[in-house]
Structure 1
Amino acid sequence: MNGTGHEGTTNDGTTNDRSVLVVGAGPTGLLLAGDLAAAGVPVTVVERRSHEISNLSRAFVVHARTLEQLDARGLADGIEEKGQPLDRLRLFGSLSIDLGRLQSRFKHLLVIPQYEVEKALERRAVDAGVAFAYETEVLGLVQGTDGVTLQVRGKGGKRAEMSAAYVVGTDGMRSVVRGAVGLPFPGKSVIRSVVLADVRLAEQPENLLTVNAVGDAFAFIAPFGDGYHRVIGWHRARNVPDSEPLELDEIKEIARLALGRDFGMHDARWMSRFHSDERQAPAYRVGRVLLAGDAAHVHTPAGGQGMNVGLQDAANLGWKLAAVVNGRAQDALLDTYEAERHPVGKAVLRSSGGIVRMAMAKRPWTLAARAAVTGVLGRVGPARARATGQITGLGVAYPAPKGAHPLVGRRVPDVALAGGTRLYEALRAGQFVLILPEGTAYKSDGVRVAHWASDRRTALLVRPDGYAAWAARDVPAEAGAEGGTEPGAEVGDRGDKSTDLPADFASYSLR
């Protein structure tokens, strides 16, 4: 079985194609596949399940940075129409975080079921030409010199092989791809016997998101938008296996303990137990196999960061993998994916774990510590800004080379550009965007040139994922006014290394 667009294997077992296999059709896999296909890479998504998007997803929050990434793909406005914005977060009763102050087009988080995000990403992937192999289970893989071969079992139990230049595992916490390359998944279960249910409510909560922890109980309620609400609850005393039967009365009791009432929960259409783990793979790349999303890291649902981090993994990896497969960059560019995203995954484990541990606080000293932390966040603006940046993703930055411009490695906001457009519209072409002062020119096949809508004199090179790759101050107005020629000839011609544009945009990174 060779996926659409695959050229198969050679006699020595290696591949001679330029295709990619993405294993897993969740949000991370769908965004990555869509990015690759949009860049002209033949890509097939391999999915064990049949073709359906389940409404039993756990993710309910899309944060501002993820909305920016969706905006760069022309999807944010449509997703916003289906969700409900929330401009303030309240934690532990006393701590309130004002999202209306975010330096973003999206000054809120969006409450929306994961399946709505998946629908939008799947439509984009299909339109871009992604092929799908549903009901296809990965059994193992073999790496060759030039590619990877998956052993799979398709419909009816038929075994076959699928070959590609690269394979990306986005197949979740129990990733077969991760196991096939021998990567461990160290960590531990943090919370056991978390209960979930989709229910109708006789009484509507006062807030869009209802969350609180009291004593031994924690509860969270969020709307689906179709008349049902997702309820997540946990009680310290109910440490039972995931297989233990679950009744609605147990969920209602947890809600009453944590929230003071159960809002008249009734007509549950689905109930389940699960346990929440904190785990991270030690590497995100083994040769021609890469990991993203829950296959690379899992953490508690606190802060609603899970799906968001996976989507941002895909945004980081997609343009790099496309550049390598299309022959515009060396394979070493893929090493920067792990170098940049592994620390982010580790930081999310710390932040989400910290929120959960504060929510679970029971002993006097842990309650005192929680009060101290929330007090600092409530009073100290910089500390609150750092916490907000971590949760929303807007504060994520990547390491920059020594001596680089201060902007390098940082997220670039959706700045206004000349002609009435803005940066994240310009990023929809999937290219680097070079923003120049008005009257300055530059020519290159590997970059889209734009100009500031203001009189700013900085030159700024923005990667396809919205991070600054290079910048220079005080570009002279006369530079390149007659039109550019060779890369680097028009901007940064003063011999200052910090102002020299790279000749090869496709392979430019922050290493």
Structure 2
Amino acid sequence: MDHNVDVVVVGGGPAGMTVAGDLARLGCSVAVVEKWLTVNPSSRAFATMARTLELLDARGLADQLLATSTTTPGINLFKGAKLDLTHLRSRYRFAMITPQTNVDQALERYAREQGADIHRGMALVDLIQDATGVTLTARPKDDDNPSSTMTWRAAYAVGADGAHSTVRGLVGMDFPGKSVLSSVVLADVKLTAGPQGGGLTLGDTPREFGFLAPYGKEDSDGSWYRSMTWDRERQVPDTDPVGEAEIVGSLNRAMGRDVGVVDVGWHSRFHCDERQVRDYRSGRVFLVGDAAHVHSPMGAQGMNTGIQDGANLAWKLGAVLAGADDSILDTYHRERYPIGKRVVRQSGLMMRAVTLHPRPARFLRDLLAPHILSIPRVRDVVAGSFAGTELRYPSSDGQSDLVGTRATEVPLHEGRLTELQRRPGFVFIRENGTASTMQNPGTDLLVHARRTDDGPALLVRPDGYIAWAGSSTSRGGEEGWPAALSRWTGARQSSL
């Protein structure tokens, strides 16, 4: 029997659950097809960056996650160089350190509470799209019984099913790129002599690197960390077992001392690729997260970029399902593809800097990096790029330079923008000194607010980015905010 829904999301990781929860919050019917029966225990991410925390706050999730996590003001790199997050233009001037499973669980709760229909233990086996929709078929994982299959008919489908995306394969989308680092080992380790001062800490030699992230879990015989290690002289297939001696040896050599490993918990060996699809859209099918781009784990960008992909796509799908022009969906690729490309490049540059082998090159790196990253302008641009707070979307000719930038830090009489965005829709921010209410309060598309500083009026998209800037009195014509809102949502200007 076919199940008719607005959107089917394939993949129940953080990117997929962001899409599903946001669509359900908008009143769309959405099904999630996920092959894992429970949240994947081997997820690799452990750092949630500022921009992602802002998005989580807009869904009422940030505070509860922070309450059970630890935070770090930066990443300690080689020879005193540091990625300093304390100057970010965000209330979250740090990275949150917690296993990805905790973020996954929070986003799944959010999706369920909003009304998403989640099917775990179901593997996608077929996807066919036509001019009016997409038909998807799934059956229980490792079950070939035809009677167990389920079929959905949807207006759109979203592939959020990871680097080995079934959706991407069924649609026939290439995934160009190459493998760049093999035999990387992740593990949870208990240490008695972890890094001094806490924080994310990197150590490296010409032979290996080691990376430690504190989980904040301590007891009488040590503290738990997530470790990532790599040994140039031990390059083996991903299927080779990981031994405790391998982890301990790599960590101690990379950190230049005995870090006191007293226990090793979960561990995994993997390789990393640099790949990106050429187009995030194929007809009625869209890719988000690792299904669209994969890269080095350096800089903790993967989970964060996937969640931000999902937040960008979901409201646009909701707008089109509510009557906006389908061309709005093309802006998903136009806005997110350059961000994905930048993430692949910058995480790759960090990885190559860490794994440098020639001693003269390492000497120059160690000499120059601390100086360059201490220059305030460079420090803030680099940190903001990794944290996501300085990334922007392109604006059209003639638009204000503010269009495409995030509005999260605009001070409002009504409180934080992210708190207002817990109600879906656009936010219209009037200038300070204007009337507290408008003659026409608008529609359900809009939440109204007033800024406390001297900036212009702003129309803010559901993902927190500015869609229009100008004078709130400029309502008419193509230059006013109602026209901008109409372009994004299809709402009639006369009703605004």
Q: Normalising to structure 1: TM-score of the pair?
A: 0.88
Q: Which residue of 2 aligns with 1:485?
A: none
Between 1:174-183 and 1:409-418, the stretch displaced more is 409-418
Between 1:270-279 and 1:309-318, the stretch displaced more is 270-279
Contact 2:79 2:366 in 1 (8 A): no
Correspondence 1:143 to 2:119 = no
The one-letter amino acid paired with 1:448 is L
Q: Which residue of 2 aligns with 1:209?
A: 200
1:71 CA drift (Å): 0.9
Between 1:312-321 and 1:449-458, the stretch displaced more is 449-458
1:502 CA drift (Å): 2.7
| In 2: Cα distance, 1:374 partner to 1:508 partner | 49
Q: Which residue of 2 aligns with 1:316?
A: 312
| In 2: Cα distance, 1:254 partner to 1:272 partner | 14
The one-letter amino acid paired with 2:236 is V
Q: Which residue of 2 aligns with 1:171?
A: 161
Contact 1:414 1:424 in 2 (8 A): no
Q: Residue 35 of structure 1 is aligned with which of 19, 22, 29? A: 22
Q: Which residue of 2 aligns with 1:378?
A: 373
Q: Deviations over 1:415-469 (max 9, x none)?
A: 33224x2211111111110101243535432542433342525110000000000
Q: Which residue of 1 aligns with 2:262?
A: 266
* Paired residue secondary structure (1:32): helix
The one-letter amino acid paired with 1:114 is Q
| In 2: Cα distance, 1:304 partner to 1:455 partner | 34
Q: Residue 116 of structure 1 is aligned with which of 97, 102, 110? A: 102
Q: Residue 48 of structure 2 is aligned with which of 62, 76, 86? A: 62
Q: Which residue of 2 aligns with 1:357?
A: 352
Q: Which residue of 2 aligns with 1:131?
A: 117
* Paired residue secondary structure (1:168): strand
Q: Which residue of 1 aligns with 2:221?
A: none
| In 1: Cα distance, 2:374 partner to 2:91 partner | 26
User: Would you say how many aligned residue pairs link Structure 1 and Structure 2?
Assistant: 477
Correspondence 1:255 to 2:248 = no
The one-letter amino acid paired with 2:411 is A
* Paired residue secondary structure (1:308): helix
Q: Deviations over 1:393-434 (max 9, x none)?
A: 001100001111110011112333224x22111111111101
* Paired residue secondary structure (1:49): coil
Contact 2:15 2:160 in 1 (8 A): yes
| In 2: Cα distance, 1:229 partner to 1:56 partner | 15
1:205 CA drift (Å): 3.1
Cα distance change of structure 1 residues 151 and 381 upon mapping to structure 2, 3 Å threshold: same
Q: Deviations over 1:91-149 (max 9, x none)?
A: 11321233221111111111111011111111111111111111111112111221111
Q: Which residue of 2 aligns with 1:237?
A: 233
Cα distance change of structure 1 residues 369 and 353 upon mapping to structure 2, 3 Å threshold: farther
Q: Residue 296 of structure 2 is aligned with which of 288, 300, 305? A: 300
Q: Which residue of 1 aligns with 2:494?
A: none
Of structures 1 and 2, the one with the larger relative CO (CA 8 A, separation 6+) is 2
Correspondence 1:196 to 2:178 = no
* Paired residue secondary structure (1:19): strand
| In 2: Cα distance, 1:308 partner to 1:351 partner | 14
1:244 CA drift (Å): 1.8
- 1:489-504 → structure 2 map (5 Å cutoff): 491-493=474-476, 497=479, 501-502=483-484, 504=486
Q: Which residue of 2 aligns with 1:339?
A: 334
* Paired residue secondary structure (2:421): helix
Q: Deviations over 1:211-231 (max 9, x none)?
A: 211221100122344453222
Q: Deviations over 1:235-293 (max 9, x none)?
A: 11111111222211111111111002342223323222111111111111000000000
Q: Which residue of 2 aligns with 1:10?
A: none
The one-letter amino acid paired with 1:202 is T
Q: Deviations over 1:70-106 (max 9, x none)?
A: 1111111111111111113221132123322111111
Between 1:385-394 and 1:61-70, the stretch displaced more is 385-394
| In 1: Cα distance, 2:292 partner to 2:16 partner | 12
* Paired residue secondary structure (2:210): strand
* Paired residue secondary structure (2:19): helix
| In 2: Cα distance, 1:409 partner to 1:345 partner | 16
1:376 CA drift (Å): 5.2
Correspondence 1:101 to 2:87 = yes
Contact 1:20 1:165 in 2 (8 A): yes
Between 1:262-271 and 1:211-220, the stretch displaced more is 262-271
Q: Normalising to structure 2: TM-score of the pair?
A: 0.91
| In 2: Cα distance, 1:124 partner to 1:213 partner | 39
Structure 1 gap ranges (5+): 8-17, 480-490
Q: Residue 461 of structure 2 is aligned with which of 460, 463, 467? A: 463
Cα distance change of structure 1 residues 508 and 436 upon mapping to structure 2, 3 Å threshold: farther
| In 2: Cα distance, 1:297 partner to 1:503 partner | 31
Q: Which residue of 2 aligns with 1:392?
A: 387
Correspondence 1:22 to 2:12 = no
Q: Residue 507 of structure 1 is aligned with which of 474, 489, 496? A: 489
Contact 1:436 1:457 in 2 (8 A): no
* Paired residue secondary structure (2:71): strand
Correspondence 1:450 to 2:448 = yes
Cα distance change of structure 1 residues 351 and 416 upon mapping to structure 2, 3 Å threshold: same
| In 2: Cα distance, 1:157 partner to 1:470 partner | 52
Q: Which residue of 2 aligns with 1:435?
A: 429
Contact 1:469 1:508 in 2 (8 A): no
Correspondence 1:184 to 2:169 = no
Between 1:497-506 and 1:230-239, the stretch displaced more is 497-506
Correspondence 1:279 to 2:247 = no
| In 1: Cα distance, 2:369 partner to 2:259 partner | 28
1:499 CA drift (Å): 6.9
Between 1:364-373 and 1:281-290, the stretch displaced more is 364-373
Cα RMSD of the aligned pairs, angstroms, is 2.1
Contact 1:447 1:505 in 2 (8 A): no
Contact 1:436 1:449 in 2 (8 A): no
Contact 1:60 1:111 in 2 (8 A): yes
- Identity across aligned pairs (percent)? 42
Correspondence 1:87 to 2:73 = yes
The one-letter amino acid paired with 2:163 is M
Q: Which residue of 2 aligns with 1:487?
A: none
Cα distance change of structure 1 residues 463 and 195 upon mapping to structure 2, 3 Å threshold: same
1:49 CA drift (Å): 1.4
